[in-house]
Structure 1
């Protein structure tokens, strides 16, 4: 019996060995018989080399994910050896594995897939950032916010792209303010921290438990004083939990009045000359007012890029009012900043924002609005436009057309005037687009003949350089259109009166800053003596600076319902979105010189 049992076991062992020799090992993949595309990809993968096979399996897994076959997709991905793949392909496989794990609330498994040791070597900086972000997401799902932040702090040092660093800084901050006080204290006490880690942890600890925004800002100012070289000081994160106002709240005025103003302007670079003119206008107005209490400090906007940096710099200089910035992008940043600890007067308009600063600007839409407003008030609802062949001329044409048509006006024709072409022919062809002029205009002009030419056009808007206007006005007269009112932008006037030069402009009415056409103020008289550009287009910037000073000294009046300040750039009144409305002055050329229209 024992001998027979031994023979039987020997026979079975022999059969097993023969069976093993006669078969080849195969990789078992999940059954996907119900998905032909996936089956085809997997079949092709079995015949392909390692890299191509991994690509095909990854594509198959993505199709299965789209089809909600998550477990099958995960099983296919498990069969891929990521270490021997090109960096991006290996990272793509690991990323999909990690995302599927996170979706199933398995952050530990996700971190396993994202282990650097299991991935291809020589990842690029962009790929490392991608990996850090995924690892941070996994740590955050574990509520391990400190390790999540460390991942992103590391990632932030892998790039010099400011928009990427800004995004990473905001993500870091979001994680740190989610951490508990115990977690933050423990992290800050870790002696293994580097400079970057420690700075971030102490920044978060500085505001831990503080809910009042103003108090938070105080603490962050103190932190910035100690960590001014830290990346979070140079490029502060945007607070993801900041409360955004749904409507504009009243502007808080300094309790003791404005004592020191910070001018935030570009002291270097292409706009330095503009900044210098604005500053001189401000200082001259301050001196003309005989002010002994007001003080002024200068901040270089080329070195300040965020609201946090601005308020910190102004505060350290003791300023309680800020004039600037000029840069529209910066103005828009301020418009979205939840609270301004220091009142700001920006020098460019903001887009719609939750908390815009006050805005005083010389934008062309003020003039376009004034022209249209006057025309509509006078019942002029049929117009032509003549504009210079320049960018500013085209901009004026667009602004005038848009507002005029919104208010019920009709633009029958528009001329892009080019002084190098026939002046007479250009004006004639424009006028012929008025049906009445076309019907009644004679074929040719004869010296001394009296012609009764009728017209449907109520007004001609002119947005041209002065030199072009001096060519256009005589041609309008020549082609019997001298009776049509002409309303022009300030470009028509060069700033210094000259009867001999501007006789051909007689009859044209135009809008401009009081600075250029009203009785000169002490500030303007001073600058006319000191500067030869005070009355030019560039000289309007002196007026801008002067009005910035005027506003700083009269904020309570300006912010009163219906409050109006009579300024160098116009009569100033607070308008929608905290932008100041500038009511401009009007003048008419009489005997070659502008005469102020006072009624």
Structure 2
């Protein structure tokens, strides 16, 4: 293999998930790239002539069926449905396209091929694109795709060259920063002899390679990093990675470095026979949830194992025996870490019946339960309620009413919402529950919203906290709308959204606010296993299972770094994760609002 290819070449399907999620979201993301510090980057001076204002996509919309099919393909691709995008592209007569639309057509074909992990086919399609005639947005997509293709094929320098061109198009400092980090990450895998090779001209790429060579050696004993950096600055005075960026990269503030660092699995080969035991039910009422979690664990393990040796996952059926016996068997088999159990009763039984000699990451939360080596991590409604309350308080709300289902879970959610709201200084002026089997909420809504009318008949500002499934919310929302005014704001628990966009059915949800996993919003989570990147994993699951895939992804990624979470948050698929003093992993969520049936994320609530 050429020394200019990646030192470790990953399986194609895993790489497609990794790079597609990373590269196609990087340009629009405001989240930090993992394992890197927050860096200050000054916008690069552009030598390109300013273009007049243009639409975000390169369509010249007429009554042309080809243009409509292109728009349909683009929309479906952005939604993560590659198969539907390909069907739309198949309807296009390429010979009838203008040069601009033909380039757009080829770009979309390449993106579909990339989403399916076919780098060779994607490269062939990209060769038919004329980037100079694309809009700025599509040029960004083109160079992102080109960088990804070459990275997938193991060709480092062509990938970096594409990123250099991409950098000249990016406008936001955050986007430039992420691109710079990606360049250095790519070059860091090259051996020193390649980075030291003679360059016929002193250009931007040679500057990057010289810098990567220095950074690759900066932890070597006796290496004069400061002196080498000074010489590099003199040789490349106008380089994009000079000045503030480089200073911040070399000397990150400790607090920032800690907050943005993402835990990694150990790079050293695992001890022979060592495993990660996974205790999940393969039968019973929790089997479907366990299946989704297993999917997330598996895809995360495959990705990690493609880059470095990992302990294998060994699954144990938590329903076949007493959970303490299952745990002891796993330890006897060589387990060094345990993920699970999932069922609350089993977590409690395990803690009460045996000593935990190795770390256990339970995938649920039992209140007032603690023990050495026990960590609890789940999609807890405690976090959901606290984040939703924080959103409402940031919106200036003071008075609230609560509407939750008349079930055991509904009662718990009501308790969490009420406790969080009152702790934040809010006043609860009404509480109602409903039968999940009913469809007419008119009487409940009328009673619940009566506090929004003052004694003089003028409506007052009121927050409505509601917990409802997507199906029930679609029936409740029109009845709320009938009574709703600008003084009423609706805040829903995340069970209102399954994680699958359904604009037609969700069009009735109006401007309902909710807070949910970053993973379900394309622009909020930039990890390699984004929802779009692993769509083949969750598309066949039920709505209730989709988000549990993200739980599995995070569970695997943090199992080896649990104590470190107490020192700073981890940017996970399920939220910004931290470890509290009870060894429960808490989550910060991304808030959003339904607009025309589509959730539009506004970001984390700080």
Larger Rg belongs to:
1
TM-score by structure 2 length?
0.49
RCO higher in structure (CA 8 A, sep ≥6): 2
TM-score by structure 1 length?
0.50
Q: Which has the higher helix share?
A: 1
